[in-house]
Structure 1
Amino acid sequence: MPEYNINDLLKKFRQGTILPEEQAFLETWYLNWNSDNQHFTEDEINAAKSKVWLALNSPVHRLKPWYWLSAVAGILLFIIVFWFYKERIDSPRTNLVVKKARTDFKPGGNKAILTLANGEEVSLGNPAKGEVASQGTVQVTETETGKLVYKGRKEISEAVMINKLTTPRGGEYQLVLSDGTKVWLNAASSISFPAAFEGNYRKVSITGEVYFEVAHDKKKPFLVTAREQEISVLGTHFNISAYQDDEFVTTSLISGAVRVKNLKTKVEKSIQPGQSATTSSANDDVLIHAIDKDEILSWKNGYFQFDNQNVYSIMKVLSRWYNVDVQFLSDKNTEHFGGTFSRGKQLSEILANLEKLGNVHFTITPKKVIVTD
């Protein structure tokens, strides 16, 4: 009979690489081990079971069909070993889970839903559709590069036709309004706008995160409403982040000049390039801060840039782009991270790099990412 090292077998069991004969030996060792001298509290046992559940349900630890006959014994084995050897059942921080993950999440892509004035919905994305619709005298076209373009002017007798462009989680899209203003939508975002502008103002409203390059027209200011914030410009480049699950609405100016109003209190302030204006439902003021333009523009330019951000903020960003739910098993992680990552990478690659930067561990399952310390 071959000789086995118990510690080696335990490691192989944890990694899901143990052979049938090795598992049989390990279970025999367990059954013959004198457990009378070991006593565990109910809390300790439940904690161990939770850890083992994660191990068994993560892709790298998922047991092969012939393992399931001994799954219960394996759980009890782990409970004993966890305290007897005082080792963590969690995988060591070697990125094993994300490197060998059978389930992964692809990066987002160019896709959106256009809702026309009559309520009709049009799916946009690859392949491009060419002519999409007519809204009065305005032609709506999806170009070969995956951009929605509005061309034409509203006739005086025509009714105002409000359209809405929405990106899902895992989507982004570009839009050119009828006045020539260019718009970029990040994941889980939307913009409502008239097919053609009329009157003394060009008014739109947004949710999520949107970047504007506003066509200059000194006779018609461009107005954007985002939650409790209103932004007024003539012609400029700026970014607005106004996700419903974020505490703040933040307008960041890249070039030109804008005025930002808190719609709740009517407080209004101007900002200059390199500054942001922040409002929230809990604050009556408009707060101004300096910004890193590269960080603000990172999503539009195809990458993530994190600057001393906590894991909760980072995972919120990743969940939108990769269209994945996130579960935190602890709410006490104080780690902060910085780094630049391509938005074109698989989720597992991003998480593997984050694991190298701090005390955090990720387990990818078919439906979500589980975060542990």
Structure 2
Amino acid sequence: MTADELKELLNKYLADELSEADFQRLWNALQEPEHKETLLGVMGEVWENPAYRRLSDTVARQRVWEQLNPVAPVTPETPVRQISRSWWAAAAAVLLLGGAAWMLLHRGPEKPLLAHNTVPVMKNDVAPGNNKAILTLGDGSEVPLDSGANKTIGQGIHQYNGQLQYNTPAAATAVTYNTLTTPRGGQFQIRLPDGTRVWLNAASSIRYPTAFTGQERKVAVTGEAYFEVAANAAMPFRVTIQQRAEVEVLGTHFNINAYPEEASINTTLLEGKVKVIAGQQSNAILLPGQQAMLPANGTVQIRKNIDTAQIVAWKDGWFQFHLSTLPDVMRQISRWYDVEVSYQGNISDKAFEGRIQRDLTLTQVLKILAKNQVHFEVNGRKIVVLADTGTN
């Protein structure tokens, strides 16, 4: 196969225009040693193609390089020809960078990293989640919120697009508690009375006072939330999590993942310093790049050198996975698309590495996963993940 033919097939794959027959031609060619030099040359050209600017994302490219050479990873600027691992693995990595996402699949050495698969046919596709929430006021009344309205809800409470803002007068004396709740398939932002900004992921909530008074600022969250806390050393900011833990901060950026279906409550620090309190004998001080994990039955554990970009990717419009199991991946998809996921047979323990845009339709996301040997049956808003047969 000539360089031009190989480049044409690679570009077709990235544009999602490759036929079944052409895919087989390409895959067969990639496994022929005589195509090694041609392939590496074409990879460099395809990588820099302006039509695929998403491949220039620093995080994405760094992860690809690390996967290709985990012992001594090179930088994204290093020429492709310096890759030291098997050349066909490099080719597979490039192929997996198509379809508005990049996804590297960790599998045993006996199996290739790439496989072509059919895409589930959905009569009525499911749109991605969007900005929507319910605001429950102190008197129990509920106000639906979405991204299409700008309105005044009450004294000092305003909605602007997909954000709720509080501008409560400092002299306010009648303090009540409000709760902002996002459904499955929803997200929302809020600026609290002290100026703290909070992003709520799907199926999450935050309860807070309409004005912060006294010696502390205290809120309670469920689900997942990202905080940018307004500094006020005289009034510490505290977050209560499922009545199991508390995060104490002065001024910082951090993410809390506290979904009940997850194995642990995870608090990840991006900037500043926080203290995680989980009972008298289980406290921890976090520094930037660290994560506190609190299992259902256990004490706080500290993880260091966390990829914080992965943790908060949801806020910036991405699903991002790092050594994530298939159930990990599907739980995120289930919450964002408000679909029910079940499993049939023994599900492979393969781990996923990569990211997918959250503004794609469900069919588009399943199509990306299908290219990584994930098999589905789809019926409306119900998805059955089928056992991995081990075939390619």
TM-score, length-scaled by structure 2: 0.67
Q: Tell me by how many angstroms 1:339 deviates.
A: 1.4
Q: Tell me by how many angstroms 1:94 deviates.
A: 4.8
> Residue 96 of structure 1: SS of its match in structure 2?
coil
State which of 119, 122, 131 in structure 2 corresponds to 1:110.
131
1:184–1:210 contact (8 Å) kept in structure 2: yes
Answer yes or no: is 1:371 the counterpart of 2:388: no
> Residue 283 of structure 1: SS of its match in structure 2?
coil
* Gap runs ≥5 in structure 1: 1-92
Specify the code of the residue in structure 2 equivalent to 1:281: A
Specify the code of the residue in structure 2 equivalent to 1:260: V
Distance 1:153 1:232 in 2: 25
Specify the code of the residue in structure 1 equivalent to 2:370: E
Query: How many residues are treated as equivalent by the alignment?
Result: 272
1:337–1:354 contact (8 Å) kept in structure 2: no
State which of 239, 263, 286 in structure 1 corresponds to 2:255.
239
1:271–1:288 contact (8 Å) kept in structure 2: no
Distance 1:304 1:147 in 2: 21
State which of 229, 243, 246 in structure 1 corresponds to 2:245.
229
2:284–2:300 contact (8 Å) kept in structure 1: no
Distance 1:162 1:280 in 2: 29
Answer yes or no: is 1:177 the counterpart of 2:192: yes
> Residue 240 of structure 1: SS of its match in structure 2?
strand
For CA contacts below 8 A with separation 6 or more, give which structure has more relative contact order: 2
2:204 maps to 189
Between stretches 344-353 and 181-190, larger displacement belongs to: 344-353
Specify the code of the residue in structure 2 equivalent to 1:204: V
Answer yes or no: is 1:288 the counterpart of 2:303: yes
Answer yes or no: is 1:215 the counterpart of 2:230: yes
1:104–1:364 contact (8 Å) kept in structure 2: no
1:255 maps to 271
State which of 220, 230, 235 in structure 2 corresponds to 1:205.
220
Specify the code of the residue in structure 1 equivalent to 2:181: T
The C-alpha deviation readout for 1:185-241, integer Å capped at 9, x for no partner, is 000000000011011000000000000000000100100011212101111000000
Distance 2:122 2:251 in 1: 47
The C-alpha deviation readout for 1:19-78, integer Å capped at 9, x for no partner, is xxxxxxxxxxxxxxxxxxxxxxxxxxxxxxxxxxxxxxxxxxxxxxxxxxxxxxxxxxxx
1:268–1:286 contact (8 Å) kept in structure 2: no
What pairs with 1:140-151 in structure 2 (closer than 5 Å)?
A: 140-143=157-160, 145-151=161-167
Q: Tell me by how many angstroms 1:335 deviates.
A: 1.7
2:190–2:198 contact (8 Å) kept in structure 1: yes
> Residue 187 of structure 1: SS of its match in structure 2?
coil
The C-alpha deviation readout for 1:57-103, integer Å capped at 9, x for no partner, is xxxxxxxxxxxxxxxxxxxxxxxxxxxxxxxxxxxx754343x4223
1:253–1:272 contact (8 Å) kept in structure 2: yes
2:118–2:370 contact (8 Å) kept in structure 1: no
2:316 maps to 301
TM-score, length-scaled by structure 1: 0.70
* Gap runs ≥5 in structure 2: 1-114, 388-392
Distance 1:218 1:269 in 2: 20
Q: Tell me by how many angstroms 1:307 deviates.
A: 1.1
The C-alpha deviation readout for 1:145-176, integer Å capped at 9, x for no partner, is 321000023546x3430000000000000000
Distance 2:236 2:245 in 1: 16
1:261–1:286 contact (8 Å) kept in structure 2: no
The C-alpha deviation readout for 1:246-303, integer Å capped at 9, x for no partner, is 120010001111111113x442111111110111221033433331011011000001
1:361 maps to 375
Distance 1:179 1:345 in 2: 35
Percent of counterpart pairs with the same letter? Answer: 41
Distance 2:385 2:352 in 1: 15
Answer yes or no: is 1:101 the counterpart of 2:122: yes
Q: Which structure has the greater CA radius of gyration?
A: 1
1:126 maps to 147
The C-alpha deviation readout for 1:327-347, integer Å capped at 9, x for no partner, is 111244212111111000011
Distance 1:301 1:285 in 2: 28
Distance 2:322 2:301 in 1: 23
> Residue 299 of structure 1: SS of its match in structure 2?
helix
